[in-house]
Amino acid sequence: GVAELGPYRHFMQKEIFEQPRAISDTLQGLESITPDLFGAQASAVLHKADSVLILACGTSYYAGLTAKYWLESIAKIPVEVEIASEYRYRDSVPSENKLVVTISQSGETADTLAALRHARELGMAHSLTICNVATSAMVRECELAYITRAGVEIGVASTKAFTTQLTALFLLTLAIAKVRGRLAPEQEAEHMKLLRHLPVAVSAVLALEPQIIAWAEEFSRHDDALFLGRGIHYPIALEGALKLKEISYIHAEAYPAGELKHGPLALVTDKMPVVTIAPNDDLLEKLKSNMQEVRARGGQLYVFADSDTKIVSEEGIHVIRMPENYGLLSPILHVIPLQLLAYHTALVRGTDVDKPRNLAKSVTVE
Ligand code: G6P
């Protein structure tokens, strides 16, 4: 009802703006990094794990893709991320000490549950879920769990569930790093500081809404859009494209920027908006040359640039400045303007934002 929406027009918008609260609730009670955060038997399980297999669908799958970068670079543990509906039906090579991690907002997605059971049948006995519903089938069936505290998510397009999943996956990364002797106390303190400040950092990004509204008008006039990211921000580009196609019905594709010249550059004309995620990281110079490849074909760049990147607006390059560079947790900040861009573009197009055509909130049948 109207009352529940408060000042917002849709649940999706409300849920986007709830993210500082959702993240802070997900971190509630956190004092230090310990395997116990994931359950009583977690210490033994995390010590035994020599690799990780992440299984999920949709937006939750993109959270998994993002976590792979953290787990491999911080915890130095090999990670595979698989779409649940693919994994459950293909021949794969099991390994006894692989920790199976499912990610699910609802905890009821049929393919993710089936993929978990499939992994167990193959001999992988240890499982952990990152889930938003404590009473769900997923939580019952997994040995270990971390419950995100996003609260009920109503909009079909997932927003606060995604950023709280990422928050929990970062905690998992730190817990695994710790048991593997890869987390020095001063590093742990630094990561904890970054985590604690996250709700405030997210609020600062939400304040960019008026600038994004100004872009949405232009986006609503196109039938296609391209999203570029590199490294850990490539899954964020995928999520941005998914949000846009789900609710605005604009065809959107995401590419790792280095792959441009292997195909998508053929699509670039002066009519193609190219959303670019530009954090100030080690890949920035590479990304800038990819941006030039787009500009040389007349493509219109819409760049979310960290304030210290020195990327400035000029002919064909539109820039919205992100308030601060957020290091390892930068993906959590960079997805927020993409959620807002999809939302406001859909609003201009007049689609049914909270209930996009043909889609369901929770896919409990195959
Ligand atoms: C549906 C929803 C998505 C969600 C996906 C996975 O497609 O519309 O928002 O990401 O299912 O759902 P889960 O509950 O397993 O995260």
Residues 187-232: pLDDT tens digits? 999 999 999 999 999 999 999 999 999 999 999 999 999 999 999 9
β pairing state of 144-147 and 224-229: unpaired
What is the reported pLDDT for 298? 95
The CA-atom distances, in angstroms, between 205 and each of 16, 167, 241, 337 are 11, 16, 19, 7
Q: In the chain, pLDDT over 90 holds for what percent of residues?
A: 98
Counting atoms of ligand 1 from 1, which one is nearest the CA of 158? 9
Regions of the chain with pLDDT less than 50: none
Counting atoms of ligand 1 from 1, which one is nearest the CA of 138? 15
ipTM of the complex: 0.99
Distance from the alpha carbon of residue 157 to the mean position of ligand 1, in angstroms: 8
| Closest residue CA from atom 5 of ligand 1 | 58
Counting atoms of ligand 1 from 1, which one is nearest the CA of 246? 8
pLDDT in tens, 245-289: 999 999 999 999 999 999 999 999 999 999 999 999 999 999 999
Residue in 363, 364, 366 to alter for ligand 1 test, most ligand atoms within 8 A of Cβ: 363
What is the reported pLDDT for 2? 53
Distance from the alpha carbon of residue 288 to the mean position of ligand 1, in angstroms: 33
| Closest residue CA from atom 7 of ligand 1 | 58
Distance from the alpha carbon of residue 160 to the mean position of ligand 1, in angstroms: 12
Distance from the alpha carbon of residue 119 to the mean position of ligand 1, in angstroms: 20
| Closest residue CA from atom 15 of ligand 1 | 104
Q: How many Cα atoms sit within 13 Å of 221 on the Cβ side?
A: 7
Produce one character per residue of 58-86: b if its CB has 16 or more CB atoms within 10 Å, e if not.
bbbbbbbbbbbbbbeebbebebebbbbbe
Q: Taking CB atoms and a 6 Å cutoff, what residues make up the pocket around ligand 1?
A: 57-60, 104-106, 109, 112, 156, 158, 359, 361-363
| Closest residue CA from atom 4 of ligand 1 | 58
Distance from the alpha carbon of residue 261 to the mean position of ligand 1, in angstroms: 32
Distance from the alpha carbon of residue 193 to the mean position of ligand 1, in angstroms: 30
Residue in 158, 166, 353 to alter for ligand 1 test, most ligand atoms within 8 A of Cβ: 158
Q: What are phi and psi of 228, to 5 degrees?
A: -120, 140
Tokens 């009519």 found at: 271
| Contacts of residue 341, Cβ cutoff 8 Å, sequence gap at least 6 | 212, 215, 216, 219, 240, 243, 244, 275
CA distance 145 to 129: 5
Residue in 54, 55, 60 to alter for ligand 1 test, most ligand atoms within 8 A of Cβ: 60
CA distance 298 to 226: 14
E-state strands within 264-328: 273-278, 300-306, 317-322
* Annotated catalytic residue 76: no
Distance from the alpha carbon of residue 148 to the mean position of ligand 1, in angstroms: 15
Counting atoms of ligand 1 from 1, which one is nearest the CA of 157? 9
201, 158, 149, 170: which is closest to 33 by C-alpha?
170
Q: Given 48, 288, 355, 361, which residue is catalytic?
A: 361
Classify residue 276 by burial, with Cβ atoms within 10 Å: 0-12, 13-18, 19+.
buried
What is the reported pLDDT for 3? 61
DSSP code of residue 254: E
Residue in 361, 365, 366 to alter for ligand 1 test, most ligand atoms within 8 A of Cβ: 361
